[in-house]
Amino acid sequence: MTTDRMPRDKGSEVHGIFEKIAGYYDRMNFVMTLGRHEKWCREVAARVAPAAGGQLLDLATGTGVIALEAARRYPASAVTGVDFSEEMLSRAMAKPGADAIRWQRADAACLPFENESFDGITEGYLLRNVEDLAGVLREQYRVLKPGGRIVILETCPPSGLLKPIMGWGVRVVVPLLGQLVARDRSSYTYLESSTLAFKSPQHIADMLSGLGFRDIGWRKKFFGTNVILWATKPK
């Protein structure tokens, strides 16, 4: 699950992983979520609801699933898809409808955009792959216009009564699927470890609030292993 990644050391390691998995990224997302991934991406695009004719930024665009859905849903808006991985971007740019989107390679920790450039921001599986979580969210606050919304699709560490079962599933099933579907157990072992070590939705919501976002909410998906969060920059 996806991309725009970080500074040097850890960043170069993660960059290498996502360069390697780009060719089977969509297939693995479909298998691991039992076909739910594209539906979640459609929900992310629906929730961002940029102003008519506005500018929309899709971070960690990966193979462009959210960006392409946003371009279909908001044809009057200008959509920019950003990722750190060249291979991911090349896969995105080869898809039908890709000509409607501006694709750009960039680091989410240092976005090459002016303050208050975008009416909405979407992202998929970015935050668990960055070193400076607060800094990346702060960058998004900076480039978002007042009144604009951010919508985040992310993995979620299991909790509650199902935590032992879902934790086992993430630790065992995800790397196994990586081996069976993609012949790449090591990359999906990273996915397993980064998912289990990531922050709770409440933690992310608290960070968003601390940065100044308001109207914050979230919905867990797929037995609590994924989550969609949203927040608005005050006018």
pLDDT at 9: 54
Q: Is residue 111 part of a domain?
A: yes
User: 63: annotated binding-site residue?
Assistant: yes
Q: Is residue 28 part of a domain?
A: yes
Q: What average pLDDT does this structure show over 223-227? A: 89
For 227, the domain range is 9-156+199-232
pLDDT at 102: 98
For residues 165 and 230, give the distance between their C-alpha atoms in angstroms, rounded to a whole number. 28
Under the phi-then-psi rule, with left for phi > 0, alpha for psi from -120 to 50, and beta for the rest, what region is 226? beta
Q: Is residue 176 part of a domain?
A: no
Could you give the number of structural domains in the chain?
A: 1
pLDDT in tens, 169-180: 677 777 777 677
Q: Is residue 48 part of a domain?
A: yes
CB-based contact 118:145 (threshold 8 Å):
yes
For the cut 80, the answer to whether the pLDDT of residue 188 exceeds it is no
Beta strands in the chain (DSSP E): 55-59, 78-83, 101-105, 118-124, 144-155, 214-221, 226-232
User: 107: annotated binding-site residue?
Assistant: yes
Q: Is residue 163 part of a domain?
A: no
Residues in the chain: 235
pLDDT in tens, 31-67: 888 899 999 999 999 999 998 899 999 999 999 999 9
Q: What average pLDDT does this structure show over 64-72? A: 98
CATH number of residue 84's parent domain: 3.40.50.150
Q: Is residue 1 part of a domain?
A: no
pLDDT at 10: 65
pLDDT at 58: 98
Q: Is residue 216 part of a domain?
A: yes
pLDDT at 103: 98
Q: Is residue 171 part of a domain?
A: no
Compare 32 and 5 and report the one with higher pLDDT.
Answer: 32
How many H-runs (helices) and E-runs (strands) does the chain carry?
Answer: 10, 7
Q: What average pLDDT does this structure show over 80-90? A: 97
